[in-house]
């Protein structure tokens, strides 16, 4: 339920285990190890994108901008608190 | 590994620990719902970084722990039938039913196989038309799209020898059951980030309003959990009770639309029994009528022994097992008199100690040097 | 629900390298034979014979599948016994090979295992000097089981074992973790990776003999097998009675193994290895020992911790986050998880 791991799409193909299908599969690289992953639930994802993979399925595309923004959070709330203190 | 390593940075973690200590001016009790979060907290010693008066309790977010005993028995019964290949995720294999686990049934000769994905089970079914391949479809909403896809493909391709034994459970009804209990001391929630990746978080907004609790959708790496705790504490200190999203790199408010569509095509909401808690209405998923042919309970004639709300909740665990209270966050594992003594992973009294994601097992395996009773 | 899981019969978990196996040995096997040599609980026993010291060891191999990337059951059997001798600081002299074959096992497969063993023995510089072959009825054996035993000569003066570990000893690890365990798990459970992962099975005696030749004062050696780094150090902590502390940030794990462990939810410190060992040396010898290892087939050797800390008899780990936790054996073999 919880274990979903981010990996980078390195390849896209359209066959699923040799059975012709409109479903998208591809290869995802997890920091050095590559596995075939079903990409049906991330139609917008392209080669080079990072996706979150759970039991062989990509369940989301990783939003890289949001990922970076997270590291500003502490500074932002510090600034907010400074403003609040100044306002008193 | 990108999007993992940066969220395990010791320096950032210490900064969060300091920020939380500054923000929290009084004791708070926060529940994290997901077994994966419990695991991360234990593995990285995150509660060592929190002020002692901030209490993290672990919720029923372990689908393995909450799968009813009788369903495991049905799984074993099916696995023992001739020409059946029974497939399951690794987590489920060690949990005991009334007498034994799937792993023990395998030791006695049942054809039980561990798979990484439901598609592996489907592949086995295609390759072995003379066998009945059954997949144990356990999980919260995170796993539902994968299980739905397996059934969808089986139906599309006419793979008649494939079926699923469904044990899907839903998080919001469980949270509501906990919140509505008079004994609940939970003041804030860290909602399960991967469940919300699939489902979005609109379902939590009415809960936050009705019960006046902050709910922060949180990821699984240490910095995610620390940021989630900080966001929750700030809400509590300010008297706010809103749904906030910490895990913005993966979770959108509407979730994954494609995945939700497929879930609703294959499954419908049903009542479910939760081991250690009892029946919760509208808290599970079952196969819709058009897919009844893929329902393993029907295929093997076990459906009539199902459980409805009318059935009383039986005592499922040994007398002194408190797993039900632990799952609801009413007791912490070290508060159980049997913890670590009469109840260990080798000799478990209940599911929360058997499953490696169960709160009791997580506490036991990674218990900290602050003391076993901390 | 039963209180004790499998209280009356042997379970698969009893062989898994985890707590159940540990307890089975501690509660049933060791007490049955109790003697000072056995109680040392080292990989091999060192016997005094005339003026010489002879190391003696045995191991059985039941791995499934019996062929996997990087080796087969035969290679494991040769290297495993050579390595147990190496862990006594012994020079291997000869090994035995005993086979239990199931009726119906393909002859070609047996030939293949024999060929692997011949190659592995040659690579390790030992000969298979005696052995035995038995056949059991179809259904009574899992294809092929192999047992090897080995004799070696101990030419150093140290008493190598957990009881020789001293406070502040440096703990050195010969290379990266988890290759064998992940490879075999993937092969066995049909988990397909596109990346080539292979077992790290290898003979370790030359590296150990080089350490001894260089005059390194070796206090303890242990090769990592089932149960991984954690099992080896937990046992040494227990038998020596000392606290052992290791640092997660210093433990080498290759990218592919790391990625596979993240996907499957496994912890590399509990994953099996077949060509890695830990060595305990006094702090002044640590740098020289690492240089010797690098020059003798172990360029990935790293210092990972020390004997010391607050919990005697236990293994502790300082996490990547800087927090400290106790490490226990899992109940049985680690299985991939979804949660």
pLDDT tens digits, one per residue of B341-367: 888 877 777 778 876 667 888 777 665
What's residue A14's pLDDT? 59
d(CA A14, CA C37): 62
DSSP C35-74: -HHHHT--SSEEEEETTEEEEEEEEEE--SSSEETTEEHH
Tens-place pLDDT, residues B242-267? 999 999 999 999 999 999 999 999 99
**Residues B121/B130, Cβ–Cβ less than 8 Å:** no
According to the model, what pLDDT value does residue C336 have?
83
CA distance B269 to chain C (A): 22
The span from the CA of C41 to the CA of C235, in Å, is 9
What's the CA gap between C155 and C152, in Å, rounded?
Answer: 9
Q: Which domains does chain C show, CATH number per domain?
A: 46-154 (3.30.1330.10), 162-327 (3.90.650.10)
Cβ <8 Å between C193 and A33: yes
Structure confidence at residue B350 (pLDDT): 77
pLDDT, average across residues C257-285: 95
User: pLDDT value at position A1?
Assistant: 54
**Residue A13's domain spans which residues?**
5-62
Minimum-distance CB partner of C259 among A1, A3, A30: A30
Torsion of CA B272, C338, B50, A72, to 10 degrees: -110
- A73 in any annotated domain: no
> Residue for token digits 């478990």?
B348
Burial of B300 (0-12, 13-18, 19+ CB in 10 A): middle
Residue C8 has pLDDT above 60, yes or no: yes
Query: Closest Cα to residue C260, out of C197, C317, C176, C207?
Result: C197
Helix, coil or strand: residue C191: coil
**Arithmetic mean of pLDDT, A15-36:** 75
Q: What is the pLDDT of residue B357?
A: 67
- How far is the C-alpha of B267 from the C-alpha of B284, rounded, in Å? 9
**C249: which DSSP letter?**
G
CB atoms within 10 A of CB B292: 13
| Residue of B44, B114, B346 with shortest CB distance to C323 | B44
Mean pLDDT over B278-282 rounds to 89
Hunting for tokens 């042919």 — which residue is that?
B293
A10 in contact with B, Cβ within 8 Å: no
Task: Tell me if B191 sits within 8 A of B216, measured CB to CB.
Answer: yes
- The answer to whether B120 faces chain C, any CB pair under 8 Å, is yes
Q: How far apart are CA A43 and CA B311, in angstroms?
A: 44
Residues B87-119: tens digit of each pLDDT: 999 888 888 888 888 988 998 889 999 999 999
pLDDT band at B304 (very low <50, low <70, confident <90, very high): low
* B64-170+255-305 placed in CATH 3.40.640.10: no
* Peptide bond before residue B311 is cis, with ω within 30 degrees of 0: no
B255: closest CA of chain A, how far (Å): 9
Range of lowest pLDDT (B136-150, B271-285, B350-364): B350-364
Of chain C, the percentage scoring pLDDT greater than 90 comes to 72
Confidence bin at B307 (pLDDT 50/70/90): very low
Task: Tell me the torsion sign for CA atoms B290, B293, B296, B301.
Answer: positive
Segment 17-36 of chain C within 8 Å of chain B by CB: 19-20, 23
Main-chain dihedrals φ then ψ at residue B147, nearest 5 degrees: -65, -40
Q: Is residue A41 part of a domain?
A: yes
**Beta carbons of A28 and A35 less than 8 angstroms apart:** yes
For chain A, the maximum distance between any two Cα atoms, rounded to a whole number of angstroms, is 68
How many helices (H) and strands (E) chain A has is answered by 2, 5
The answer to whether residue C107 neighbours chain B at the CB level (below 8 Å) is no
Q: Decide: C94 and C129 in contact? Cβ < 8 Å.
A: yes
Residue C207 pLDDT: 97
What's the CA gap between B317 and B350, in Å, rounded?
6
Residue of chain C nearest B101, judged by CA positions: C5
Beta bridge partners of B135: B87, B164
Rounded to a whole number of angstroms, the distance from the CA of A86 to the nearest CA of chain B is 18
pLDDT for C2 = 29
Higher pLDDT, B26 or B374: B26
CB neighbourhood size of A79 (10 A): 11
Query: For residue A47, what is the domain's CATH number?
Result: 2.30.30.140
The residue count for chain B: 374
Q: According to the model, what pLDDT value does residue C305 have?
A: 98
Distance from C-alpha of B271 to C-alpha of B283, rounded to nearest angstrom: 5
Task: List pLDDT tens digits, range B180-202.
Answer: 887 788 999 999 999 999 999 99
Nearest residue in C to A29, CA atom? C259
- Shortest Cα distance, chain C CAs vs residue B239, angstroms: 31
pLDDT tens across B159-171, in order? Answer: 999 999 999 999 9
- C95 pLDDT band (50/70/90 cuts)? very high
| Edge-to-edge strands, sheet with B112-114 | B112-114, B84-88, B132-139, B162-169, B278-287, B267-274
Q: Is the separation of the CB atoms in B285 and B269 below 8 Å?
A: yes
Strands B28-32 and C67-68: unpaired
Per-residue model confidence (pLDDT) at position B367: 58
Mean pLDDT, to the nearest integer, of C156-170? Answer: 94
Query: Chain-wide mean pLDDT for chain C?
Result: 91
Q: Is the pLDDT of residue C102 over 90?
A: yes
Tally of domains in chain A = 1
Is the pLDDT at B158 greater than 80? The verdict is: yes
Report the complex ipTM. 0.90
Q: State the Cα–Cα distance between residues C307 and B166, nearest whole angstrom.
A: 49
Interface of B with A in 114-143 (CB under 8 A): 116-120, 123, 126, 139-143
- Find all residues with CB under 8 Å of B216, minimum gap 6, and list them: B188, B189, B190, B191, B228, B231, B232, B235, B243, B244, B245, B246
Q: What is the mean pLDDT of residues C256-273?
A: 94
Q: What residues 50-109 of chain B have any CB closer than 8 A to a CB of chain C?
A: 61-64, 69, 89-91, 93-94, 96, 98-99, 101, 103-104, 107
């Amino acid at each position: 339920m919880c274990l979903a791991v981010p990996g980078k799409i390195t390849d896209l193909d359209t066959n699923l285990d040799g059975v012709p299908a409109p479903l998208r599969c591809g290869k995802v690289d997890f920091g050095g190890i590559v596995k075939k992953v079903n990409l049906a639930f991330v139609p917008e994802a392209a080669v080079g994108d990072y996706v979150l993979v759970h039991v062989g399925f990509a369940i989301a595309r990783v939003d890289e901008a949001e990922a970076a923004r997270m590291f500003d959070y502490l500074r932002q709330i510090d600034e907010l608190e400074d403003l609040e203190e100044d306002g008193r | 590994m990108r999007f993992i390593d940066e969220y395990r940075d010791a320096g950032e973690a210490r900064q969060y620990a300091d920020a939380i200590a500054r923000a929290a001016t009084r004791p708070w009790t926060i529940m994290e719902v997901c077994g994966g979060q419990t695991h991360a907290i234990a593995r990285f010693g995150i509660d060592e970084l929190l002020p002692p008066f901030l209490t993290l309790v672990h919720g029923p977010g372990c689908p393995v722990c909450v799968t009813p005993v009788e369903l495991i028995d049905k799984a074993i019964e099916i696995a023992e039938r001739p020409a059946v290949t029974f497939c399951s995720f690794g987590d489920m294999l060690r949990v005991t039913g009334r007498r034994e686990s799937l792993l023990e049934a395998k030791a006695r000769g049942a054809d039980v196989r561990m798979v990484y994905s439901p598609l592996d089970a489907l592949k086995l079914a295609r390759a072995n038309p003379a066998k009945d391949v059954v997949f144990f479809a356990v999980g919260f909403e995170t796993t539902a799209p994968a299980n739905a896809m397996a059934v969808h493909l089986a139906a599309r391709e006419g793979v008649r020898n494939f079926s699923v034994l469904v044990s899907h459970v839903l998080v919001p009804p469980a949270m509501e059951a906990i919140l509505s209990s008079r004994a609940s001391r939970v003041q804030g929630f860290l909602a399960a980030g991967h469940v919300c990746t699939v489902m979005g978080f609109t379902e939590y907004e009415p809960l936050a309003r009705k019960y006046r609790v902050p709910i922060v959708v949180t990821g699984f790496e240490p910095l995610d959990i620390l940021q989630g705790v900080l966001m929750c504490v700030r809400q509590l200190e300010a008297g706010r009770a809103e749904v906030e999203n910490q895990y913005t790199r993966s979770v959108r408010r509407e979730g994954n639309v494609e995945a939700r569509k497929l879930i609703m095509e294959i499954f419908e909401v049903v009542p479910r029994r939760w081991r250690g808690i009892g029946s919760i209405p509208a808290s599970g998923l079952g196969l819709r009528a058009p897919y009844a042919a893929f329902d393993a309970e029907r295929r093997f004639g076990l459906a009539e022994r199902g459980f409805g709300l009318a059935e009383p909740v039986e005592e499922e665990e040994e007398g002194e097992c408190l797993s039900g209270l632990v799952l609801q966050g009413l007791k912490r594992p070290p508060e159980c008199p049997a913890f670590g003594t009469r109840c260990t992973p080798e000799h478990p009294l209940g599911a929360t100690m058997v499953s490696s994601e169960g709160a009791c097992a997580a506490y036991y395996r990674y218990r900290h040097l602050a003391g076993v009773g901390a | 629900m039963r209180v004790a899981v499998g209280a009356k019969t042997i379970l698969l978990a009893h062989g898994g390298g985890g707590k159940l196996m540990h307890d089975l040995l501690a509660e049933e096997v060791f007490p049955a034979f109790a003697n000072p040599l056995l109680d040392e609980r080292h990989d091999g026993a060192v016997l005094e014979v005339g003026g010489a010291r002879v190391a003696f060891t045995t191991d059985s191999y039941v791995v499934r599948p019996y062929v996997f990337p990087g080796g087969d059951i035969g290679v494991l059997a040769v290297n495993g016994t050579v390595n147990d001798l190496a862990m006594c600081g012994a020079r291997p002299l000869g090994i035995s090979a005993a086979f239990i074959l199931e009726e119906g096992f393909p002859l070609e497969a047996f030939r293949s295992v024999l060929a692997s063993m011949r190659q592995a023995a040659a690579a390790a510089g030992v000969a298979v000097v005696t052995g035995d072959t038995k056949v059991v009825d179809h259904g009574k054996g899992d294809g092929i089981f192999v047992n090897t035993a080995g004799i070696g000569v101990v030419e150093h003066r140290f008493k190598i074992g957990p009881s020789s570990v001293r406070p502040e000893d440096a703990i050195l690890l010969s290379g990266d973790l988890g290759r064998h365990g992940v490879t075999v798990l993937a092969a066995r459970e049909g988990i397909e990776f596109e990346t080539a992962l292979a077992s790290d099975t290898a003979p370790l005696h030359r590296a150990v003999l080089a350490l001894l030749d260089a005059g390194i004062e070796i206090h303890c050696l242990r090769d990592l097998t089932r149960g991984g780094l954690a099992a080896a150090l937990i046992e040494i902590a227990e038998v020596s009675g000392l606290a052992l502390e290791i640092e997660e940030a210093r433990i080498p794990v290759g990218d592919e193994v790391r990625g596979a462990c993240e996907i499957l939810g496994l912890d590399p410190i509990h994953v099996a290895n077949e060509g890695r060992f830990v060595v305990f040396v006094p702090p002044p010898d640590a740098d020289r020992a690492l240089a010797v290892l690098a020059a003798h087939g172990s360029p990935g050797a790293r210092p990972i911790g020390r004997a010391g800390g607050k919990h005697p008899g236990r293994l502790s780990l300082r996490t990547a986050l800087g927090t400290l936790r106790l490490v226990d054996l899992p109940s049985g073999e680690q299985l991939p998880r979804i949660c």
